[in-house]
Structure 1
Amino acid sequence: MIRRRPQLLWLLLPYVLFVAALPFVNRVPLLVLWLLGATLVTPVAVGLARRGDLRAERAARAERTERAARTERGDRG
């Protein structure tokens, strides 16, 4: 699925940021800022994944339209 939709890798970013904070829970005084940053990055990552999905959908639609036009003209290839 990732090969077909690599833009979904953006959705791993918030997860990695939250999981990376776990070892530092009782050690880092700025943990709250780290978690706030990870929370603010989440909608950005989702937006980037959505933007990639929309681009891929547009490209697929253009390809289907081109393919339909070619078959209508009788072209092969």
Structure 2
Amino acid sequence: MSKKRTSLWWLLGPPVAFLGVLPIANRVEPIVLGLPFLMFWLFVAVLLTPLFVWLAAKGDPVWMAAREAERAERTGRAQADTRGGG
């Protein structure tokens, strides 16, 4: 069964933020928060990377199914432990 995994396109965000925008952001002026613009942009890109990864994971049906299966397995194991089965 083939599932659409279009949310994985979010994983292109970090490379684009770091490399694709580099020719545009490669300048010293303006100074933002006391940093040259390029250094500020790289700092923002580092902070945005986990957001891109989270968006890709939340929309990925394969990842969500694996997460639910793991959760169900943990719950089943916890219930077996409380009953003394395990």
TM-score normalized with structure 2 length: 0.52
1:30 is matched with: 37
- Residues of 1 paired with 2:22 and 2:52: CA distance? 20
AA aligned opposite 1:44: L
- Residues of 2 paired with 1:48 and 1:4: CA distance? 15
What 5-or-longer segments of structure 1 have no aligned partner?
60-77
| Preserved contact between residue 14 and residue 38 of structure 1 (Cα < 8 Å) | yes
2:16 is matched with: 16
AA aligned opposite 1:20: G
Greater per-residue strand proportion: 2
* 1:45 pairs with 2:52: yes
- Residues of 2 paired with 1:34 and 1:22: CA distance? 9
AA aligned opposite 2:40: L
- Residues of 2 paired with 1:30 and 1:16: CA distance? 17
Identity in percent: 48
Runs of 4+ displaced beyond 4 Å: none
What 5-or-longer segments of structure 2 have no aligned partner?
29-35, 66-86
| Preserved contact between residue 21 and residue 34 of structure 1 (Cα < 8 Å) | no
Superposed displacement of residue 22, structure 1: 2.7
Superposed displacement of residue 21, structure 1: 3.9
TM-score normalized with structure 1 length: 0.58
